[in-house]
Amino acid sequence: MSYPYQVRSKEEYEEAYKRSIEDPEGFWANVAQHFVWKKPWTKVLEWNFKEPSVKWFDGATLNITENCIDRHLATLGEKPAIIWEPNHPEERVRTVTYNRLHKRVCQFAQVLKNNGVKKGDRVCIYMGMVPELAYAVLGCARIGAIHSVIFGGFSAQSIADRLEDAGAEYIVTADGAYRGEKIIPLKSVIDDALIGNKTVKRVIVYTRTRTPVSMIKGRDVWWEDEMERVEEQAPSGSPGGGEVQAHGQPSEESATDLNTSQSRPGAAAKSPHRGDLEGLAVEMSAEDPLFILYTSGSTGKPKGVVHSCGGYMVWTAYTFVNVFQYQPGDVHFCTADIGWITGHSYIIYGPLAAGATSVMFEGVPTYPDAGRLWDIVDKHKVNILYTAPTAIRSLMGFGLAPLEGKDLSSLKILGTVGEPINEEAWHWYDEHIGKKKCPIVDTWWQTENGGVLISNMAGITPSKPSFATLPMPGVQPILVDEAGVEILGNPAAGNLCIKAPWPSIIRTTYGDHERCRQAYFSTYENLYFTGDGALRDEDGNYRITGRVDDVLNVSGHRIGTAEVENAINMHSAVVESAVVGYPHDIKGQGIYAFVICPELHGGEEATRLNIIQTVARIIGPIAKPDKIQFVSGLPKTRSGKIMRRILRKIAEGETSAFGDTSTLLDPSVVEEIAKGRTLP
Ligand code: WTA
């Protein structure tokens, strides 16, 4: 298999870029024709950013799972689609071939149907990084249910809010999830989230950790029992009958040996599981929603970003094949969690749409030691490694010892995502992991974008340390000043906007279209506003400098300051708070909270811990403040607005140069806060 839409030289990139701008409809129709559609489109693109309304491939129908699985079966059936690396290295690897993936996804799609799930229903998925998570995601897509995956680091309260916002009636979860030395009791968190919930009818529970769970009659069912029931329903004689796993027993995939992750000779004789189940691939309109993924913004409540089936499929496959220059047979390892957009697009949908082999890792880079990622690269002969700058910085801190004896020679391409990568980390990655022979792609994009928008293409267009470099074909970035006036010429600096839609642009925020307009399309007329600031060098390369709104990026996780403030303010002793980011060596940004708390019950330290605990309860451990400073007042303007600019300076360590403070109601408060700064 090869990719007719793969760009193979700098000239081809320039040519593709030019065509994509001059004739976007022709360009994308040309790419999209290489996918399986049930009905062709009547119009490639219709859009306006006013409402906003964006329609790609309108009139066309498809099922994304047929593109990600079925169409590969004839040629790649016995090739690994997913190689699963467990949290505990001594546990067996599971290799899921395309045939197996097909069988499992169809089977789980039937489970969903048996439990009453219909097209358009919202299914919340709260699982660890196990292959069953991929089956659940794809099983939803198979029958047209809208999945909403929630990262395992969110609390019961966060889940409850999301369940309510999405009106979710179904949940897929597990008893627990392994994460390094810890076990996260997923089902128990779900039980807490469901207290008072009136919409959820069914919870399907996969057995992973054997953590005790309370199964509620009439609501909760076991994954294994449901799968078995479908197996029994399947037409007799269909292959795979009787293979079903008992609770917590390793399933048949795990029978594959550690070192037989490539296809097994002779196994091709086994035909894939066909029969009635195949009929489950529901015909979806290109613009039907595929999933919701919640993300933080500058207001208090996370937004449910909605992506649609057709455009998202085309974009994730196109960018996967081009950014990473994927070649058939390559092993791709994206270390993200499927709870975030990177996992959706570059562990599941993009790689599978391209018939690739995708490594899925259950654990963390530092367990059992800081050599874990390098062990995985060595063991599975990984060719493409895609990770986050925060992971690189944290591993750098362990020195070179964890690299000793690890064969990284299979690596061809390295990638980063999630935050700006500092030059030091870039060079360490280049020198010690890529051995100076692997191009590094610094991929800039957002949950709302569906896939990479600005990045070099590995080995095709040049990289430049700490620059995401050039836009993908179809992407028209511009820099604007505060008034929205385009900044022309190079070099330049400004707020990063995009002029026209690419196929996987956000379609709406679930249940509240106006919010989508407000957040992304109202700041500057006729532009999509990213919320990021950027520089452009003489050659037109973009360097993303970070958020210009009240959104923090902590270890590559997006967290709204307003959200954290709301959580802190829930603590009974807190009167008011203001949260800002500050530079953090490993996390990129740390969370610094200024808190007004007149009575420190049990002392300062105890109150601090209580506030941290409150945030963990309300949002989740990922939003815990790194520093809490108790203050008697906050720097406010006469109209009551907190001047975060000043607080940011204090958090960064500035002691005197605060700029103009004359508009403050009480300028003396600044000095007091600066004096009391909590030193790192
Ligand atoms: C930041 C993650 C610099 C940026 C895919 C963006 C980056 C936010 C990069 C989106 C990069 C992402 N260089 N900054 N290569 N990639 N960002 O929605 O601030 O979790 O707005 O999507 O991460 O985060 P999100």
Q: How many domains does the chain have?
A: 2
Residue 587 lies in a domain: yes
Residue 589 lies in a domain: yes
- Centre of ligand 1 from the C-alpha of residue 378, in Å: 28
3-state SS class at 166: helix
Neighbours of 119 (CB within 10 A): 12
Residue 12 lies in a domain: no
pLDDT grade, residue 73 (50/70/90)? very high
Task: Give me 141's structure tokens.
Answer: 């897509």
Task: Please give the helix or strand (H or E) that residue 177 lies within, else none.
Answer: strand 177-179
Which residue among 295, 340, 417 has the greatest number of ligand 1 atoms within 8 angstroms of its CB, and so is best to mutate? 417
Residue identifier of the C-alpha nearest atom 5 of ligand 1: 446
- Centre of ligand 1 from the C-alpha of residue 555, in Å: 11
Asked if 495 contacts 482 with a C-beta cutoff of 8 angstroms, the reply is yes
d(CA 533, CA 545): 5
Range of the domain at 116: 98-275
- Considering 260, 275, 290, which residue would you say is the last residue of a domain? 275
- Centre of ligand 1 from the C-alpha of residue 444, in Å: 6
Asked if 388 contacts 415 with a C-beta cutoff of 8 angstroms, the reply is no
pLDDT grade, residue 243 (50/70/90)? very low
The CB of 532 under 6 Å from ligand 1? The reply is: yes
- Amino acid identity, residue 321? V
The CB of 342 under 6 Å from ligand 1? The reply is: yes
- 341 pLDDT more than 50: yes
- Centre of ligand 1 from the C-alpha of residue 421, in Å: 11
Task: Give me 30's structure tokens.
Answer: 């040309």
- Centre of ligand 1 from the C-alpha of residue 523, in Å: 19
Task: Give me 493's structure tokens.
Answer: 């600096």
The CB of 553 under 6 Å from ligand 1? The reply is: yes
Determine the pLDDT at residue 564.
Answer: 97
Q: Which atom of ligand 1 is nearest to the CA of 544?
A: 3
- Considering 259, 275, 291, which residue would you say is the last residue of a domain? 275
Region of 120 (left: φ > 0; alpha: ψ -120 to 50; beta: rest) is: left
Determine the pLDDT at residue 236.
Answer: 53
3-state SS class at 604: helix
- Centre of ligand 1 from the C-alpha of residue 418, in Å: 4
Determine the pLDDT at residue 114.
Answer: 97
Which residue among 294, 446, 496 has the greatest number of ligand 1 atoms within 8 angstroms of its CB, and so is best to mutate? 446
Mean pLDDT (whole number) for 437-449: 98
**Which residues on neighbouring strands pair with residue 205, listed in sequence order?**
173, 222
d(CA 167, CA 197): 10
pLDDT tens-digit readout, 269-284: 333 444 456 678 999 9
Determine the pLDDT at residue 261.
Answer: 34
Find the radius of gyration of the CA atoms of the chain.
25
Residue identifier of the C-alpha nearest atom 12 of ligand 1: 418
- Centre of ligand 1 from the C-alpha of residue 386, in Å: 14
Report DSSP letters for 663-680, one per residue.
Answer: TBS-THHHHHHHHT----
- 606 pLDDT more than 90: yes
| Polymer length of the chain | 680
Residue 170 lies in a domain: yes
d(CA 31, CA 354): 13
Q: What CATH number did the domain enclosing 578 receive?
A: 3.30.300.30
Residue 147 lies in a domain: yes
Residue 76 lies in a domain: no
Task: Give me 604's structure tokens.
Answer: 């300062």
Q: Which atom of ligand 1 is nearest to the CA of 455?
A: 15
Asked if 121 contacts 397 with a C-beta cutoff of 8 angstroms, the reply is no
Query: CA dist 106 to 101, 113, 136, Å?
Result: 8, 11, 10
Residue identifier of the C-alpha nearest atom 24 of ligand 1: 446
- Centre of ligand 1 from the C-alpha of residue 419, in Å: 5
Q: Give the distance, in angstroms, between the CA of residue 19 and the centroid of all CA atoms in the same chain.
A: 30
- Amino acid identity, residue 528? Y
d(CA 362, CA 84): 8
The CB of 531 under 6 Å from ligand 1? The reply is: yes
Q: Which atom of ligand 1 is nearest to the CA of 421?
A: 13
- 1 pLDDT more than 80: no
d(CA 61, CA 347): 24
pLDDT tens-digit readout, 445-484: 999 999 999 999 999 999 999 999 999 999 999 999 999 9
d(CA 582, CA 432): 28
Residue identifier of the C-alpha nearest atom 7 of ligand 1: 419
The CB of 418 under 6 Å from ligand 1? The reply is: yes
- Amino acid identity, residue 671? E
Residue 581 lies in a domain: yes
Percent of the chain that is helix, strand, coil (3-state, to 5):
35, 25, 45
For the stretch 82-96, what's the b/e string if a residue is b when 16 or more beta carbons lie within 10 angstroms of its beta carbon? bbbbbbeeeeebbbb
Residue identifier of the C-alpha nearest atom 25 of ligand 1: 446
Q: Would you give the end-to-end CA distance of the chain in angstroms?
A: 53
Q: How many helices (H) and strands (E) does the chain have?
A: 20, 30
- Considering 223, 254, 275, which residue would you say is the last residue of a domain? 275
- 558 pLDDT more than 50: yes
Residue identifier of the C-alpha nearest atom 14 of ligand 1: 419
Backbone angles phi, psi at 573, to 5 degrees: -90, -10
Strands 384-387 and 413-417, how do they pair?
parallel
Region of 648 (left: φ > 0; alpha: ψ -120 to 50; beta: rest) is: alpha
Residue 321 lies in a domain: no
Q: Hey, what long-range contacts does 393-401 have (CB within 8 A, 24 or more apart)? A: 393/422, 393/425, 393/585, 393/586, 393/588, 394/365, 394/366, 394/586, 395/365, 395/366, 395/370, 396/424, 396/425, 396/428, 397/586, 398/366, 398/370, 400/432
pLDDT grade, residue 660 (50/70/90)? confident
d(CA 293, CA 124): 10
pLDDT tens-digit readout, 108-155: 999 999 999 999 999 999 999 999 999 999 999 999 999 999 999 999
- Centre of ligand 1 from the C-alpha of residue 417, in Å: 7
Q: Which atom of ligand 1 is nearest to the CA of 531?
A: 21
Residue identifier of the C-alpha nearest atom 22 of ligand 1: 446
d(CA 126, CA 193): 11
Q: What CATH number did the domain enclosing 187 receive?
A: 3.40.50.980
Q: Which atom of ligand 1 is nearest to the CA of 442?
A: 15
- 267 pLDDT more than 90: no
**Which residues on neighbouring strands pair with residue 493, listed in sequence order?**
535
**Which residues on neighbouring strands pair with residue 147, listed in sequence order?**
123, 291
Burial environment of residue 637 by CB neighbours within 10 A (0 to 12, 13 to 18, 19 or more): exposed
Q: Give the distance, in angstroms, between the CA of residue 642 and the centroid of all CA atoms in the same chain.
A: 31
Residue identifier of the C-alpha nearest atom 6 of ligand 1: 446
- Centre of ligand 1 from the C-alpha of residue 320, in Å: 17
3-state secondary structure labels for all residues of 63-74: CHHHHHCHHHHH
Neighbours of 521 (CB within 10 A): 19
Mean pLDDT (whole number) for 530-559: 96
- 11 pLDDT more than 90: yes
d(CA 382, CA 50): 44
Nearest to 306 by CA among 90, 589, 520, 103: 520
d(CA 650, CA 657): 10
d(CA 589, CA 626): 10
Region of 268 (left: φ > 0; alpha: ψ -120 to 50; beta: rest) is: alpha
pLDDT tens-digit readout, 609-652: 999 999 999 999 999 999 999 999 999 998 888 999 999 999 99
Query: CA dist 296 to 300, 485, 548, 651, Å?
Result: 8, 27, 14, 22
Residue identifier of the C-alpha nearest atom 1 of ligand 1: 419
- Centre of ligand 1 from the C-alpha of residue 254, in Å: 35
Q: Which atom of ligand 1 is nearest to the CA of 295?
A: 18
Nearest to 289 by CA among 122, 448, 405: 122
Task: Give me 567's structure tokens.
Answer: 């959580």
Mean pLDDT (whole number) for 406-417: 98
Placement of tokens 């057709």 in the chain: 310
